[in-house]
Structure 1
Amino acid sequence: MKLSKTLIALALAGAAFSAQAHKPWLLPSSSLVDSKDAWVTVDAAISEGLFDIDHMPLKLDGITITGPDGAKVDMQNATTGRLRSTFDVKMAKPGTYKIALVSQSVMASWKANGEVKRWRGTEAEMAANVPAHAEELNVSRTFGRLETFVSANKTDEAVFKPTGVGLELVPVTHPNDMRAGEEAKWKFLLDGKPAAEQAFSLIPGGVRYRGTLGEIRLSTDAKGEVTFKIPQAGMYLVSSSWPAPPAAQAGQQAGPRPMPPRRVTYAATVEVLPQ
């Protein structure tokens, strides 16, 4: 279980850095349900192809579901298979629900007797595994947030109240009210403050059938806000990270780049409906 949690944390950390890396995702059967008995089924996996079931399941023990009244909601019929996990959410109250996985991890490297040592794990495990005064000690902490949003019979904003930790989406246009070709406006926060000039991307599902990634790259303004249009309907993965990875310099040798002391990532699945 410890190994699985570490792999999940690393996947969350890498989700925003490489379009070809294995990416974790939460994929609801629908983002907006109009029914007296409202349910959604959610697939949860880590895959190479976006929303393809091709690698490994996402463990469900760290996932939380928050209802429109702020109360925690239990997942129903949860199961984990060889390539994906699935669970149902009964939306007993009207409004918007947030399904989220928040991950924190630590990566460290140091030298011992001339040999480079590396370790990955949780903050609680670090003291027992990493010498506090090791030679050339380099420690990087990662905070990752993976989300999706579903609404029953109406949308509301309660679940978007920011926590003030990491990258967060505070939408002006509700993610469950987005339609192809129509203008949408979002705001990103970094530790509770506007995330100015924050780059992010939206990648549509169905890459294996298009043959091209179809990534849309955008950036917020000085207020952390961005106005944009999505040309086509479908499920999209929103992906962002801070700080931005440094650009490769001319003549720079290939190889691992230095780890920043702190790294923050955000990813979410949103559905864009037809007009």
Structure 2
Amino acid sequence: MKTMLASAALLAGLGLAGLAHAHSPYMLPSTFDVSDRKVVTVQGSFTESFFIPEVAMKSDSYAVIGPDGARKPLTATYLRELALVEVPVEAAGTYRVTTGQRAGRVGKAALIKGEWEFMEPGKAPAGVQVVDMQSITTADVYVTRGAPSTGALAPVGKGLEFQAITHPSDITTGQPAKFVVLYDGKPVADQEVTLSAGGDRYADVKFAPVTVKSDAQGRFQIKPDHSGVYQIQARYRVAPAAEGQPGQSHTYSLTFESLR
């Protein structure tokens, strides 16, 4: 059992997309409303059960985007199951805490029925071209001191991300929250997005993940049906930009709190 767990942890840490259905990335702050403090601690991890950390999410690009839109690097402390960053939140407004884009391992992938799929060595169907595919993971979370602001919500414009139309600090239980899926700053149509809830370990009725699709303009909405902490996640794969270069398998996640 220990060997199996160690192997799973290693694969998740390397960003193996074949394991992505089991291990999902997330960022989780000690609190979403930071009005009564000047610093907030945020954990980054991979998990099979939200929000129980299993494998520390290592990244050279941890950062915070402040209410003024300025991006500042953060230094992470790594434990076996999670990474921790301390984020200064002295100014009023909303902060975006991010892992930045973290590069994982390079695997083999093939285009099967219009979809890029990771392949075990020698398992690709005959006549199908196999290419290198690198995993890229980004996880974000927003925290707010005082009244919500929008400076930190501006799209980064690189890789896969969600643009919040409904402010993450204003998401209300039972009401739709709206977002746009972007890749390199452009809307992604027909993109699957999965909503997962945490905190149901002791619940009588378990929360089943819900999958929605973006429309032609990349817009989608989700509706949390109970108060708590949630994660929304998408995966988007792109072909190699040129011969000899790997394709990219992007995973993006956003954690938020829903209150009544």
TM-score (norm 2): 0.74
**Counterpart residue number, 2:29:** 28
- Say whether the 8 Å CA contact 1:46–1:58 is kept in structure 2: yes
Q: Offset of 1:60 from its aligned partner?
A: 5.6
SS at match of 1:270: strand
Q: Aligned pair in 2 of structure 1 residues 38, 190: CA closer, same or farther (>3 Å)?
A: same
Q: Which amino acid aligns with 1:103?
A: R
Q: Which amino acid aligns with 2:39?
A: W
Equivalent position to 1:224, from 212, 218, 222? 218
**Counterpart residue number, 1:97:** 95
- Say whether the 8 Å CA contact 2:59–2:102 is kept in structure 1: no
1:52 aligns with 2:52: yes
Alignment of 1:196-275 (within 5 A): 196-210=189-203, 212-243=206-237, 261-273=247-259, 275=260
- Say whether the 8 Å CA contact 1:14–1:23 is kept in structure 2: no
Alignment of 1:1-275 (within 5 A): 7-10=12-15, 13=17, 17-18=20-21, 21-35=22-36, 37-53=37-53, 55-59=54-58, 61-73=60-72, 75=74, 79-101=77-99, 102-105=101-104, 107-109=106-108, 138-210=131-203, 212-243=206-237, 261-273=247-259, 275=260
Q: Aligned pair in 2 of structure 1 residues 107, 80: CA closer, same or farther (>3 Å)?
A: closer
SS at match of 1:141: strand
Superimposed CA distance per residue, residues 141-161 of structure 1 (whole angstroms, 9 cap, x where no aligned partner): 333221111111121222222
Structure 2 gap segments, 5+ residues each = 1-8, 110-120, 123-128, 239-245
**Counterpart residue number, 2:5:** none
Q: Offset of 1:51 from its aligned partner?
A: 1.1
Q: Computing the radius of gyration over CA atoms, which structure comes out larger, 1 or 2?
A: 1
> Could you tell me how far apart the structure 1 residues matched to 2:18 and 2:141 are?
18
Q: Offset of 1:41 from its aligned partner?
A: 1.9
- Say whether the 8 Å CA contact 2:62–2:73 is kept in structure 1: no
Q: Offset of 1:71 from its aligned partner?
A: 2.8
Q: Offset of 1:14 from its aligned partner?
A: 5.9
Superimposed CA distance per residue, residues 206-259 of structure 1 (whole angstroms, 9 cap, x where no aligned partner): 243237342122111111112342111111111111249xxxxxxxxxxxxxxx
Q: Aligned pair in 2 of structure 1 residues 92, 194: CA closer, same or farther (>3 Å)?
A: same
Q: Which amino acid aligns with 1:43?
A: Q
Over the matched positions of the two proteins, sequence identity in percent amounts to: 29
Q: Aligned pair in 2 of structure 1 residues 72, 262: CA closer, same or farther (>3 Å)?
A: closer
Q: Aligned pair in 2 of structure 1 residues 148, 172: CA closer, same or farther (>3 Å)?
A: same
SS at match of 2:69: coil
SS at match of 2:206: coil
- Cα RMSD over matched residues? 3.0
TM-score (norm 1): 0.71
Q: Offset of 1:6 from its aligned partner?
A: 7.9
Structure 1 gap segments, 5+ residues each = 111-115, 118-135, 245-259
- Say whether the 8 Å CA contact 2:61–2:73 is kept in structure 1: no
Q: Offset of 1:268 from its aligned partner?
A: 1.4
What is the total number of aligned residue pairs between the two structures? 226
Q: Which amino acid aligns with 2:38?
A: A
